[in-house]
Amino acid sequence: MKKTYSLLAHLLRRPAGAWALLLLTTAGGLTGCENETMPVPDQGRDYYPLELGAYRIYDVIDTAYQANVPTVSRFQFREQVDTALEPDATGQPVYRVIRSRRTLATDPWKIDSVITVAVKGQALTEQRNNRRTVELVFPVQEGKTWNINAFNTLDSLTVVNRFYVGANQPFRITRGGQTYQYDQTITTVNDLAQDVNAAYTTVLRTTFARGIGPVYRVRRRFISRCDAVGCNPAFKQQGQSRSEVLIASGK
- Whether the pLDDT of residue 99 is over 90: the answer is yes
Tell me how many degrees the CA angle 233-216-159 measures, rounded to the nearest 5.
Answer: 60
Alpha helices in the chain (DSSP H): 2-12, 16-35, 192-195
**pLDDT of amino acid 37:** 61
Q: CA-to-CA distance for 18 and 184, rounded, in angstroms?
A: 54
Least confident span in 127-136, 150-159, 170-179, 224-233: 150-159
Q: CA-to-CA distance for 170 and 90, rounded, in angstroms?
A: 35
**Cβ pair 246, 180 in contact under 8 A:** yes
pLDDT in tens, 144-198: 999 999 988 887 777 889 999 999 999 999 999 999 999 999 999 999 988 999 9
Q: For the chain, give every domain's residue range.
A: 2-35, 45-250
**pLDDT of amino acid 120:** 82
**pLDDT of amino acid 34:** 52
pTM: 0.81
pLDDT in tens, 17-53: 443 333 334 344 444 445 556 555 679 999 999 999 9
**pLDDT of amino acid 40:** 59
**DSSP assignment letter at 251:** -
Instruction: pLDDT band for 92, please (50, 70, 90 cuts).
Output: confident
